């Protein structure tokens, strides 16, 4: 091998290494169906003044609670054991996968968490009562949580839309991924079970963000 060829090979290797190190990888959290409750609805479903019991801490001060409810959709088909995420919120909200929504006979729109205006109606049943929500059922829009520091470091803006590359046998590109920046967040991507199953993405997988 002559010198020029060797230099070419080494340059290529260095470039590839730099490119690999430049990749911004994000850890994935797969969200199963879950419910957020208001104080008023917690009272109706679990009794006046009832509190949520923390089962597992989640990012941004949220937690998975021990308490679960049954949800009922338009077809009168139901799903039991749907976990509540705490703490209590201003408004109740149910987050389902598209498959769940079809099974229940609902037309849940894909939305950012908290944007429930004109979303699908759904009924919640708890140990002490039931509540029919006129709106509140959504399919969560896939998103990436990011700290203010990371956003600055990697030049991202709040609500920026990016892509995420998935490798593997059923890999592809996930488009329309929303960046959400907050001081309480750490770098983590949230997708639902449909998205994870379709592309064989596991909880804890590292995926590449593509701007
Ligand atoms: Zn999230």
Structural domain containing residue 39 = 32-140
**CA distance linking residue 186 with residue 151, whole number of Å:** 10
How many C-beta atoms lie closer than 10 Å to residue 93's C-beta? Answer: 25
| Predicted confidence (pLDDT) at residue 19 exceeds the cutoff of 60 | no
Residue with tokens 């338009």: 74
Over residues 110-143, the pLDDT tens digits come to 999 999 999 999 999 999 999 999 999 999 999 9
Provide the residues around ligand 1 (an ion) whose CB is within 5 A: 190
Over residues 190-208, the pLDDT tens digits come to 999 999 999 999 999 999 9
Q: For 120, how many CA atoms within 13 A lie in the half-sphere containing its CB?
A: 27
**Domain annotation covers residue 18:** no
147 and 96 belong to one structural domain: no
Q: How confident is the model at residue 17 (pLDDT cuts 50, 70, 90)?
A: low
User: Is residue 85 helix, strand or coil?
Assistant: strand
Mean pLDDT of 176-197: 96
Give the Å distance between the CA of 96 and the centre of ligand 1.
Answer: 13
CATH number, position 180: 2.40.40.20
125 and 165 belong to one structural domain: no
If one counts the domains in the chain, the total is 2
Q: How confident is the model at residue 76 (pLDDT cuts 50, 70, 90)?
A: confident
Q: Name the β-bridge partners of 146.
A: 181
Give the Å distance between the CA of 2 and the centre of ligand 1.
Answer: 54
Give the Å distance between the CA of 206 and the centre of ligand 1.
Answer: 16
Give the Å distance between the CA of 77 and the centre of ligand 1.
Answer: 27
pLDDT at 16: 60
pTM for the structure as a whole = 0.86
**CA distance linking residue 157 with residue 35, whole number of Å:** 28
Q: Mean pLDDT, the chain, as a whole number?
A: 93
Q: Where are the alpha helices (DSSP H) in 23-84?
A: 39-46
Q: Which of 140, 157, 180 is the last residue of a domain?
A: 140
**CA distance linking residue 164 with residue 21, whole number of Å:** 16
Q: Which residues contact 78 (CB under 8 A, 6 or more apart)?
A: 70, 71, 72, 104, 125
Q: Please, are residues 38 and 45 in contact by the beta-carbon 8 Å criterion?
A: no
**CA distance linking residue 131 with residue 123, whole number of Å:** 6
């Amino acid at each position: 091998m002559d010198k020029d060829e060797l230099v070419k090979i080494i340059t290529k290797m260095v470039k590839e290494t730099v490119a690999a190190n430049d990749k911004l990888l994000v850890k994935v959290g797969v969200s199963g169906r879950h419910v957020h409750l208001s104080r008023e609805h917690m009272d109706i479903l679990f009794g006046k003044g009832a509190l949520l019991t923390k089962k597992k801490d989640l990012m941004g001060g949220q937690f998975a609670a021990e308490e679960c409810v049954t949800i009922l959709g338009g077809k009168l088909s139901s799903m039991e054991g749907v976990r509540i995420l705490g703490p209590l919120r201003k408004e109740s909200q149910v987050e389902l996968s598209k498959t769940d929504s079809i099974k229940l006979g609902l037309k849940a729109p894909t939305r950012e968490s908290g944007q429930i205006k004109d979303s699908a109606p759904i009924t919640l049943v708890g140990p002490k009562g039931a509540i029919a929500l006129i709106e509140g059922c959504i399919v969560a829009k896939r998103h990436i949580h990011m700290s203010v520091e990371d956003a600055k470091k990697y030049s991202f803006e709040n609500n920026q839309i990016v892509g995420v590359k998935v490798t593997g046998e059923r890999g592809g590109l996930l488009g329309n991924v929303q960046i959400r920046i907050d001081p309480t967040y750490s770098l983590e991507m949230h997708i639902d079970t449909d998205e994870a199953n379709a592309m064989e993405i596991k909880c804890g997988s590292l995926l590449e963000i593509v701007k």
